[in-house]
A and B are shown apart, each in its own frame.
Chain A
Amino acid sequence: MEASVKYTETELVYLLKQRQQSAFSYLYDNYSGALLSVIINIVSDTELANDVLQEVFVKIWRQIESYDNTKGRLFTWMMNVARNASIDTVRSKGFQNSQQNQELTETLYDKGGSTQLHTDKIGLRKVVHELKDEYKVLIELAYFEGYTQDEISKMLDIPLGTVKTRLRTALTQLRGVIKQ
């Protein structure tokens, strides 16, 4: 490995769009760890998360043409690819039947906040768990579980308007906490 080589984001994206294997290798070496942390936030089983990681990199490789740097950083785009793939995995039938899902659901409704022991509480999810319970629950459902605001409104029996405003507040607070 050429540890000395360092690409800027623009160069990297350019080379990826040229289908350069070396650029893709560089991308993997530099971003796979951070993306895996994003995936583990949603798919807590490490082995399964590694499978999702592979799938995510295939998607990144095949969809790089659709990445537009005027709409945000490369990492933000890849993070969203990773989040969507993870939520799809969690929602797939196979996963529903497995035990991991039970654990996730338990975590979700555990309002005591004493869930720090779980290995998936790293990175963003760890930050989210520093928020007040009423905010934490909303981000858990909307971001990590991928429910729509409508679904959350029904699930928690809170008016849709309240879900909207509370989620917005939760996100603003998240920005405050994440900066520290």
Chain B
Amino acid sequence: MNIEAYISSGVIESYVLGMADAQEIAELEQLRLQYPAIQQAIDEFEESLEKTAFAAAVSPAPSVKNKLFFELENEFALPVKEKDKPSFAHNTPIVDIQSRINKTEEETIIETNFSTEQTKAVVKPLRYLKAVSVAAILLLIASASLNVYFYSKNNALDEQVTALLNDKNTLIASNKSMQVKYTDIYANLMVVSDTNVQKVVLKPVVGKEGSLATVYWNTFTKDVYVVADKLPKAPKGKQYQLWALVNGKPVDAGMIDGCNGVCKLKNTIQAQTFAITLEKTGGSESPDLTQLYVLGNVKSS
């Protein structure tokens, strides 16, 4: 293994700066134990990075430390003999760090994450702790049952909301379809209420009793509308056709199909009689008189 080449390959910098991949890391962590030169190169680069950062140090805003300690307030180990006020600084100068650590062990009240040998430490306010624990457990139970209560209440409310939303959507949909119907009806009403419109009732011929249709003919605009809701349903391949009889001659006035209520058919300039026959789909040039259903005369004005 060429150590020099490895050291100058850039992999060490990549590792220290946190840019190396898993394989490079594994390899380097192996090699640094074997070759002191590699270890030294790592140390040197780490030190120069640290120096560079310290040389460029920027003072943080003074508020950051306060906010930080406020945020972590409950995560610090209980201070030793510092009951009165929390202070971030030491109360007594510590010269020998080891003695401070020993002292800490003796006077420990509660410390988490301690090694097992430290758990032997004498804990004085046990009774007080017991009371606190009991209170804490009671609070926990109360809180848990409240959680269950609110959870089920919340679920019930959720269901209600969903049901209401469904109702709302259904109402909106039916409202829309009502609006469409209303618009149709209003338009139809406008058609038939025009003062220029003549109403011609077409009555059934013998054998077609029960059939009925009405023609609304605007003698000014020549528009023809038919309401043919009392004709039997046309069989497949057949459609009803409206005829205008002009001086005894039948003139095609349009097919009655696929319209809702009032059908607008072909404009008719002149007519003495209107009649409806059943014809093949698409209509015929002349009416099949054996299939005549209804007819009616226009009132002479």
Contact = CB atoms under 8 A, between A and B. Distances in A.
B88 A179 contact: no
A78 to B, nearest CB: 10
B17 interface: yes
Contacts of B54: 33-34
Q: Interface centre among A25, A38, A53, A175, by most B CB within 10 Å?
A: A175
A37 B56 contact: yes
Contacts of B182: none
Nearest to A127: B52
A126 to B, nearest CB: 7
A162 interface: no
Contact of B53 (A53, A124, A174): A124
A37 B127 CA distance: 50
B19 A123 contact: no
Contact of B64 (A53, A123, A124, A175): A53
Contact of B49 (A57, A76, A169): A76
Interface residues of A, number: 61
Contacts of B17: 80, 83, 143, 171
Nearest to A126: B56
Given A33-B59, A178-B49, A167 B42 contact: no
B123 interface: no
A168 B53 contact: no
Contacts of A53: 60, 64
A72 B9 contact: no
A15 B114 CA distance: 11
A142 B71 CA distance: 33
B190 interface: no
Interface stretch (A16-24, A95-103, A106-114, A153-161): A16-24
A21 B56 contact: no
B50 interface: yes
Chain B, interface SS category: helix
B58 to A, nearest CB: 5
Q: Which 4 A-B pairs have the closest CB atoms?
A: A33-B57, A123-B56, A168-B10, A171-B13
28 contacts: A4-B93, A7-B97, A14-B101, A18-B114, A19-B76, A19-B111, A20-B76, A32-B60, A33-B57, A35-B53, A36-B57, A36-B60, A37-B53, A40-B58, A46-B58, A47-B61, A58-B68, A61-B72, A61-B75, A75-B50, A80-B17, A83-B17, A124-B53, A168-B9, A172-B9, A175-B13, A178-B52, A179-B48
Interface of B: 8-14, 16-19, 29, 42-50, 52-61, 63-65, 67-69, 71-72, 75-77, 79, 88-90, 93-94, 97, 101, 104, 111-114
Given A33-B54, A76-B16, A123-B52, 19 more contacts: A7-B97, A20-B76, A24-B72, A28-B68, A36-B60, A54-B67, A61-B75, A73-B43, A73-B46, A73-B47, A75-B49, A75-B53, A124-B53, A169-B10, A170-B10, A171-B10, A172-B10, A172-B13, A179-B44
